[in-house]
Structure formats: C-alpha cells, structure tokens
Amino acid sequence: MNKYFLILCTALVCLVSCNETSNEYNPYEDWQSRNAAWFEDTVQVARAAISQAKAEYGDNWEEHCQWRMFKSLNKTTTSTGPITDSICVRIMTHGLDPEGKGSPAANDSAHISYRGWLMPTYNYTGNGSEMGWNQEMFDSSYLGEYNPETSAPALMSIGNLLEGFSTAIQYMVEGDEWMVFIPQNLAYGSNGSGKIKGYSTLQFHIHLVRWYESGTGSASKWE
C-alpha cells in the first residue's frame, strides 16, 4: 500500500463511525460529507506536494512533482472558483508524445484504458467478521491487472465523457497514465448512476493509449 493512500485513509478514520460488533454497520453513512472530505484531503496532499516542489525547483517544479490540479474546461477562467471546480491528478507515467501531437480536444476521440473506484470505506471483509479498508470498483475497460500489452482499450468520444474525465483526457498526451480524482459535481452529482451513489467522488486510473483528431477518421476497434 503506497504512502499517499495511507495518508488519505488515516484522514478518513475520524470521519467513519462504526461498531465492529454490529450487523447494522453502514459503510455509506454520511456519504456526501465523507466524499467531500476525501476529495478535500486529496487536494491538500496534492497542494502540499506542489508547493514543496515549487519552493525547491521554481519554474521546473513539474519535473519533480507527480501531482497536478486542473480546473474543469467547462468552468469560467475569469475567477478562481471552489476546489470542486477542479480535478486532482497524480501522474503515474509520463507519455513520450513522439509525434508531437499534444493533447486532444473535446470533439476528438481516443482509445483509453481505465478503471474506476468509489472512495475507500472501512467495511466488513472476508467472511464478514473482520473490518478493513477497501475500495469498490464500479467500472473497468479490462479484466485482472492492467497490462498495456493485452488490455484492449475502449474507443471513446471525449466530449461525451464525464466532465472531470473529459477534462483529464484533454490535458494528457499519448502514453500518459494518471490517477484522477473527480469531485461529485464533475461526475454524477447528487443522482449517481448504477453502482455509483449520489455525491460520490470518483477515482480513476486512466491510460491514454491513442487519440484521433476529429474529421480525420479513427480506428473503429483496437488493433
């Protein structure tokens, strides 16, 4: 378990009220406030890392820091706005962009490998008699562990994606692998969708494999 996950889980302990001997434990209690706090805690980790990198490396800070904050491309740029107008990103792998294509736009399409989770919850595990931290996965474009050699990516229209997901893709270059944290208002909001409860902050592992400029044609399937 990596360091940043431990930091976030530790911050959540004080927010989760449960009785380990009770069969009435509800991991979704105070779901809205806990999800908001989880995103805020993640932002604090990101901002602290960014601030430290800027203090040490100045204009070259991005070369020494994995974390980024990106405001939604659907929000106004004339004011700062709340932190929930932005997504929080931890860069896992930098793409090389050998063709100099840069990042795609909303009207482009892309082959993307991804997996999505809800926030960590302290819940019953195993045979139901023990408690532990876990995250519920709600969607994935691949089975098992991610392997770029065997995990066929999904072809997606960028403009049709969740606002937070679409924003992330439009800052990525081919080959980028990011862990992306999306606040509920840039995801499914108060209504939720399927396995995703309303007010859920979402965490995605996203790999932008290839993108295609609108009007130039794109592969209908992964080859």
DSSP string spanning 85-114? Answer: GEEEEEEEE----TT------TT-EEEEEE
Return the sign of the alpha-carbon dihedral for residues 62, 68, 73, 78.
negative
Q: For residue 211, is pLDDT > 60?
A: yes
CATH of the domain at 159: 3.10.50.40
**Residue 70: beta bridge partners?**
87
User: Does 16 score more than 60 pLDDT?
Assistant: no
Is 217 a member of any domain? no
Q: Is residue 223 part of a domain?
A: no
- CA 46 – CA 54 distance, rounded (Å): 12
Q: Which is higher by pLDDT, 126 or 148?
A: 148
Question: What domain count does the chain have?
Answer: 1
219, part of any domain? no
What is d(CA 166, CA 157) in angstroms, rounded to the nearest whole number? 9
Query: What's the pLDDT score for residue 129?
Result: 63
- What CA–CA distance (Å, rounded) separates 95 from 126? 38
- pLDDT, mean of residues 131-140: 88
pLDDT at 135 over 80: yes
